[in-house]
Amino acid sequence: MNRIFSLIACLSLTACASQTAGVVDRMTHDPNSTNTETILHVWSWNFNTIAENMKQIADAGFTMLQTSPVNACFSPEGGNIRIYDEKEGNWYHYYQPVDWTIGNNILGTEDEMAVMLDSARKYDIRVLVDVLPNHTAFDIDLVTDSFYEAVGGRDKMFHTNGLEGIQDYNDRRQCTLQGVGGLPDVNTENPLFQKYYMEFVNKLIRMGVRGFRYDTAKHIGVHSDPLDEEAGVKENDFWDVATGRKKVLGVSLAIPYDSLFVYGEVLQDRNVPEEEYAGYFGQTASSYGHVLREALTKRSAKNMDLVSWYHRAAPEYLTTWVESHDTYCNANESAGLTDGQIRMGWVFLAARQNGTPLFYSRPMNSTRDNYWGDNLLGARGNDEFFHPEVVAVNNFRKQMDGQAEDIVMSADGEVLVVNRGDKGLAAVNLALEVKTAELPTGLPDGEYADIVYKQTFSVENGVLKGIMQPETSYIIVKK
């Protein structure tokens, strides 16, 4: 038997942490706190679709949802219909801003967004919006005249070398002052741009948005990063403005920053100043996602460490995932994993104390031979977000508030158990064959039935015993 032991805890969204002058310490782990939140990434769903499914999202136990970008974006004639198609549009079009106004022909209008937000309030779901101030559309002629005018003209929109693509992503000058994937790099230190962007953010907040995911966040500089001196930049202060630490031309964040859930897409690599970014927001645990997917692919975690979060920041401030829209769409890194494998990973991840897990909604009717499924932008994703095992672990996560985790696995690494104190556990069989569980647990001795399948398990002398079906998870809560 191979036993992995951990008493790592994490923080709820309202968790306490040491603060100095309004700055949260996101580097020091608090072992006495737990997270309970979960995010459903309603990727490519439009506002009407989200609103129509809000009750099901709430019933599935999710506490937050994350939309795709809501800003005006590249909209070619006859495009923005398909998720991936040479003629009828591609999912990444809404990652090409042409203005910071609300509404596009993928997600819908500002009025439709308002209706969606009203529905979210009714079901007590917090709405996060994916924002991307780092760049514009590839074709800078498509950026609106009003946007250019607002930032002081076209020559003020981009960094000095902003139209040049990054060659070395580990070079912080290139990383923060040149284009990601060829997308023109915005001069985010331009006060006029900051003002215009913050007016957009504040309008979203007034509408009811209560959080943001910052796309390509590691490509917007922090104070230690190189300055674009040719553009007259004196300070890399975008994050100070975006997080409400300072005003820009009389405009500041509309509500206290600590009332928002904000995380940045800071994909892990060499030379990334994670500690500085931690001073502003939570970050993505991209390395952990890679390790978890490796275990799912092998259907075994033998000789693998699934306890460590592989990040310098405190785990209570990490946003975690089994897969993201990028790992699914960009080179289809995770798209080959079956829905069942993703679900097993989700149960394991959501059962843990640490981080805030995000569930990516795959396209409706997608298969491992047809990643795009029905291939319709705006449509609801597949049924996996309300699979009984997903619902069970989402609710389990809330019930386990305050309970320390203890992760154990079988000698072959195919059965994983996340114990949560003496109150409950989640058990996952990664294998494609029936397995017999015989692993330590904190549950009191006795007979138990799991929440979803009513499968019987016993605990004798602190050891969980039971039969586990292939690629199946079980949630057990103390009576």
Count of residues making up the chain: 479
CB 128 within 8 A of CB 213: yes
Residue 16 has pLDDT above 50, yes or no: no
Q: Are residues 387 and 367 in the same domain?
A: yes
pLDDT given at position 22: 58
> Please, what is the average pLDDT of the chain?
94
Q: Are residues 394 and 423 in the same domain?
A: no
Q: Are residues 427 and 343 in the same domain?
A: no
d(CA 240, CA 63): 28
Q: Are residues 310 and 172 in the same domain?
A: yes
Place 396 in a pLDDT band, splitting at 50, 70 and 90: very high
Give pLDDT tens digits for 443-465.
999 999 999 999 999 999 999 99
Place 9 in a pLDDT band, splitting at 50, 70 and 90: very low
Query: Domain tally for the chain?
Result: 2
d(CA 315, CA 9): 8
pLDDT given at position 7: 33
Strand 456-460 to 435-440 pairing:
unpaired
135 is a domain residue: yes
10 is a domain residue: no
- Average pLDDT of span 186-212: 98
Last residue of a domain, one of 373, 403, 433: 403
47 is a domain residue: yes
Q: Are residues 372 and 429 in the same domain?
A: no
Lookup: tokens for 24 = 């949260």
Residue 210 has pLDDT above 60, yes or no: yes
Residue 173 has pLDDT above 70, yes or no: yes
Instruction: Tell me, letter by letter, the H, E, C secondary structure of the chain.
Output: CEECCCCCCCCCCCCCCCEECCEECCCCCCCCCCCCCCEEECCCECHHHHHHCHHHHHHCCCCEEEECCCEEECCCCCCCCCCEECCCEEHHHHHCEEEEEECECCCECHHHHHHHHHHHHHCCCEEEEEECCCECCCCHHHCCHHHHHHCCCHHHHECCCCCCECCCCCCHHHHHHCEHHHCCEECCCCHHHHHHHHHHHHHHHHHCCCEEEECCHHHCCCCCCCCCHHHCCCCCCHHHHHCCCCCECCECCCCCHHHCEEEECCCCCCCCCHHHHHCCCEEECHHHHHHHHHHHHHCCCCCCCCCCCCCCCCHHHEEEECCCHHHHHCCCCCCCCCHHHHHHHHHHHHHCCCCEEEEECCECCCCCCCCCCCCCCECCECHHHHCHHHHHHHHHHHHCCCCCEEEEECCCCCEEEEEECCCEEEEEECCCCCEEEEEECCCCCEEEECCCCCCEEEEECCEEEEEECCCEEEEEECC
pLDDT given at position 133: 98
Give strand pairing partners of 298. Answer: none
Residue 407 class from Cβ within 10 Å (0-12 exposed, 13-18 middle, 19+ buried)? buried
Expressed as residue numbers, the domain containing 473 is: 415-477
6 is a domain residue: no
pLDDT given at position 414: 98
Residue 406 has pLDDT above 90, yes or no: yes
Last residue of a domain, one of 378, 403, 428: 403
Q: Are residues 339 and 461 in the same domain?
A: no
Check which CATH number belongs to the domain holding 244 and give it. Answer: 3.20.20.80
Check which CATH number belongs to the domain holding 424 and give it. Answer: 2.60.40.1180
CB 271 within 8 A of CB 225: no
Give pLDDT tens digits for 213-232.
999 999 999 999 999 999 99
Residue 476 has pLDDT above 50, yes or no: yes
191 is a domain residue: yes
Q: Are residues 137 and 239 in the same domain?
A: yes
Residue written as token pair 């990973």: 345
CA nearest neighbour of 47 among 103, 130, 131, 87: 103
Lookup: tokens for 1 = 């038997």
Place 479 in a pLDDT band, splitting at 50, 70 and 90: confident
Residue 6 has pLDDT above 80, yes or no: no
Place 78 in a pLDDT band, splitting at 50, 70 and 90: confident
16 is a domain residue: no
- Average pLDDT of span 54-69: 98
- The contacts of residue 468 (CB under 8 Å, 6+ apart) are 415, 427, 429, 434, 435, 436, 437, 455, 474
The one-letter amino acid code at 106 reads: I
2 is a domain residue: no
CA nearest neighbour of 327 among 339, 337, 315, 317: 337
CB 371 within 8 A of CB 364: no
The one-letter amino acid code at 178 reads: Q
Q: Are residues 308 and 199 in the same domain?
A: yes
Residue 235 has pLDDT above 60, yes or no: yes
Last residue of a domain, one of 360, 378, 403: 403
Q: Are residues 68 and 210 in the same domain?
A: yes
Q: Are residues 101 and 181 in the same domain?
A: yes
- Which residues participate in catalysis according to the annotation? 215, 265
Q: Are residues 201 and 293 in the same domain?
A: yes
Residue 283 has pLDDT above 80, yes or no: yes
- Average pLDDT of span 96-117: 97
Q: Are residues 50 and 143 in the same domain?
A: yes
Lookup: tokens for 333 = 């890194």
Instruction: Tell me, letter by letter, the H, E, C secondary structure of 68-98.
Output: CCCEEECCCCCCCCCCEECCCEEHHHHHCEE
70 is a domain residue: yes
